A = this chain, B = another copy of it.
Amino acid sequence: MAQEPVTVWARPERGTRGPAAVHSRAELTAVAVELADRSGLSAVSMRQVAKALGVGQASLYRYISGREDLLDLMTDSAAGEIDLDVPLSGDPVADLAALAARTRTVHLRHHWLSEIPPEPLRLGPRSLDYLEYALRAMAAVPLPGQTKMEIVALMNALISQFARAELQVSHANTDRQAAQAAYLSETAAKGDHPHVAAAMADHTEAGPAESPHALFERAMHRVLTGLVAPSSS
């Protein structure tokens, strides 16, 4: 009935019969990534990708089965940029924290990673290598495999969150954010929400702001320590 393999990774890129395809999935992915790097994820539409590639829009469906596939490819391509040849020290927390730090740089290089709608299980070959590496780092940890996988998922969610927060301040804010911030400070100044007001005052004066990288490493180290530490119950 329907086409059998519903995921890109299980579908062969080419048959053997017809004329050679002019482009490839890799090419498609590269174009999509460049488009997203420059103009955000919303710029990655079938039409724009087709235009940037110089083909008709409907032709894209010869390479992928839909936009979801494109996101899969992009995500996995980004995962491929994470260096997995770094040897493990044996300290699970330190190794995971270092991996997280490398993942963070990829997130900063590709803003759109934090915009990708988090499907459960968006795992391509490179992402799988990534998962394998992370699990290997936890090999000596006496936790069930299920829990370890959840730890990796949580770690990635945190990395995404950090990247979002970091890009938010650096990037030029839309007027929507400005309005939101204005509403926040305005409401906080009204007298209710004293703790919010205090926290925001802290934020504005503060001292020399800690470098985002250092902040990330500290927080991630703490969280991982909490997660990986042997359970006391």
Contact = CB atoms under 8 A, between A and B. Distances in A.
Given A7-B182, A222-B229, 7 more contacts: A10-B186, A115-B117, A122-B180, A132-B192, A148-B199, A150-B219, A224-B226
The interface centre, meaning the residue of A177, A179, A215, A227 with most chain B CB atoms within 10 A of its CB, is: A179
A153 B165 contact: yes
A104 to B, nearest CB: 14
Nearest to A137: B195
B199 A135 contact: yes
B132 A195 contact: yes
Interface in A115-170: 115, 117-123, 125, 128-129, 131-132, 135-136, 139, 144-150, 153-154, 157-158, 160-162, 164-165, 168
A231 B202 contact: no
A125 to B, nearest CB: 7
Identical chains bound together, number: 2
Interface of A is mostly: helix
A233 interface: yes
Contacts of A145: 198-203
A122 to B, nearest CB: 7
A34 interface: no
B6 A120 contact: no
Q: What 6 pairs between A and B have smallest CB-CB spacing? A: A145-B199, A145-B202, A226-B226, A6-B179, A222-B226, A135-B195
A206 B149 CA distance: 14
A146 B176 contact: no
B219 A132 contact: no
A132 B196 contact: yes
Contact of A10 (B119, B129, B135, B179): B179
